[in-house]
Amino acid sequence: MDLKLTDEVAVVVGAAKGIGRAIAEAFGSEGARLALIDRDSAVADLAGEMSVKNGRPAHGFTGDVAEYDTMLAASKAVHEWFGRCDHVVYAAGMGSGKFGYPFWNLQPGDWEQVLKINLLGAVNVAHAFTPAMVAARRGTFLFIASIAGQIGSQTDPPYSAAKAGLINFAQCAAKDLALYQVRVNCLSPGMVKTELNRSVWQAWNSRQMIGEERSYEDWADDKIRRTVPLARWQDPEDMAAAAVFLASPRARNITGQTFNVDGGQVMHS
């Protein structure tokens, strides 16, 4: 299927690994030119690899989403490299690294960095890239949220609340930007084998009594059987397929929505 993304410019924030990397690869396979942003310096090498693989320009930019000036510099660099920006995907994220049930097992200080990366980082990126999209009167934003932001997950309240805030911000942005034909959506993964998912298990496992610990595989497989109607993992590539569709003209009337790619874990009427 030709999604008509050839030579479009896609910015993927949090592109060095996991879901962000899969999304970057999907845009590249559709013929898009890539700007990859991550605090991991390996993003520069990844951009070089993708450029060779896809035969299209790709640049890497190392920066922290929590620093607004750095995201402004990244936006400026993208426009210097390509002269435009068509799609921005925000895939940076982190959990607290602690088991949050009940919530008072955490400290208020456990919240700050989680909110800074998952929510305020997305706000920084949106502020940095929006003016050029408004001027061009075209473009898309996609924020990688989580089903945790819809169900009040007790596993990690700071992460859950941050993702809920991200979904709400995306709705606000979608309303503001509709006048300029810029679309804004969220994508909510379910159970995906990422470092973040594994950290949730690690935080849970570390609180178990001796002899009651479980391997990551057993813990995750049991959770999937109990909570996911399709009873299987989701893959980063599942998120990537949805991401490129939402950026494409085939989704031209979709904005302000949250798409769950979760095997049916969360269903809405």
| Helix boundaries (H) for the chain | 18-29, 43-54, 68-82, 112-115, 121-136, 148-151, 157-177, 195-205, 216-227, 236-247
Distance in angstroms (rounded) separating the CA atoms of residues 98 and 100: 6
Please give the positions annotated as active site.
Answer: 159
Nearest to 144 by CA among 199, 182, 194, 100: 194
3-state SS string for 164-185:
HHHHHHHHHHHHHHHHHCEEEE
Positive or negative torsion for Cα 160, 35, 235, 6: positive
Distance in angstroms (rounded) separating the CA atoms of residues 144 and 186: 6
Side chain identity, residue 173: A
Distance in angstroms (rounded) separating the CA atoms of residues 59 and 242: 23
Q: How do 87-90 and 58-62 pair as beta strands?
A: unpaired
What φ, ψ does residue 81 adopt, rounded to 5°? -70, -45
Distance in angstroms (rounded) separating the CA atoms of residues 210 and 129: 50
Q: How many residues does the chain have?
A: 269
Beta-ladder partners of 33: 9
CB neighbours (10 Å) of residue 253? 6
